[in-house]
Amino acid sequence: MPQLDFSTFLPQIFWLLISLSFLYIVLSRYALPRVSDVIEERKDIIAQDIDSAKEYSAESEKAIQELNLKLSEAKANSQNLINKSLQDIKEDNEIKKSSLIKEINNEILEAESKIKEKKETALDEVSSISETLAIEMLKNLSVGEIDKGKIAALSKMAN
């Protein structure tokens, strides 16, 4: 068994101590501080990134809320405008309607009075025509003197 060859113990242990102490110095002085720096730095950067991402998401959340607020405001405004204009149109319509009705009524009244006038004149004319007709007829019958007063009274009675 080569492991029990005592003559090899000293050189093995000597080189073990040399290499182990060299490795310890290299690792503890140079390598490990660097590795821990790099790891810490990365952790910091990641933490910062996460923080800024959270900030951004909070900002966007805020912006969304503002947008929603504005949207609802705009909706309410437009609803108001619609209601108002509807009301206006209704009122306008009412006014126009009532004035139209008045005009129509006036015209109807006018027309009625005209009809009445025409009727009266027509009746007057009819009575005068019938008077003259009666005079002419009586003239043709040569009954002598015609009493215009009597005929007028008669036509009035016929009316």
Partner 1 sequence: MASSDHSSDHSTGSFPADPMHQFEIKRLLDINFAGYDISFTNSALFMLIAVFLISFTTIFSVRKNSIIPSRMQSIVEISYEFVADMVRQNVGSQGKNYFPFIFTIFMFVLFMNMLGMIPYGFTVTSHIAVTFALAMLIFIGVTAIGFVKHGLGFFGFFVPKGVPVFMLPLLVVIEVISYFTRPISLSVRLFANMMAGHTMLKVFSGFVILMGFLGGWLPLAVMVAFTGLEILIAFLQAYVFAILTCIYLNDALHMH
- Smallest CA-to-CA distance from 12 within 24, 2, 27, 25 is with 2
- Contact with partner 1 (CB under 8 A): which of 36, 52, 60, 85? 36
Q: Does 53 bind partner 1 (CB under 8 A)?
A: no
Q: Does 19 bind partner 1 (CB under 8 A)?
A: yes
What letter represents residue 157's amino acid? Answer: M
Non-local (6+) Cβ contacts of 130 within 8 A are: 155, 158
Q: Does 47 bind partner 1 (CB under 8 A)?
A: no
Question: Angle formed by the axes of helices 32-140 and 148-158, to 10°?
Answer: 140
- Contact with partner 1 (CB under 8 A): which of 40, 42, 70, 73? 42
**Pick 19 or 60: Cβ nearer partner 1:** 19
Q: Does 35 bind partner 1 (CB under 8 A)?
A: yes
What letter represents residue 83's amino acid? Answer: N
Helix (H) or strand (E) holding 125: helix 32-140
Nearest distance from C-beta of residue 56 to partner 1, angstroms? 19
Q: Does 45 bind partner 1 (CB under 8 A)?
A: yes
Answer for the pair 146, 138: CB distance below 8 angstroms, yes or no: yes
Dihedrals phi, psi of 146, to nearest 5 degrees: -105, 125
Nearest distance from C-beta of residue 6 to partner 1, angstroms? 8
**Pick 24 or 56: Cβ nearer partner 1:** 24
Q: Does 13 bind partner 1 (CB under 8 A)?
A: yes
**Pick 11 or 144: Cβ nearer partner 1:** 11
Distance of CA 107 to the CA centre of its chain: 42
Interface with partner 1 by CB under 8 A: which residues?
Answer: 1-5, 7-17, 19-20, 22-24, 26-28, 30-32, 34-39, 41-42, 45-46
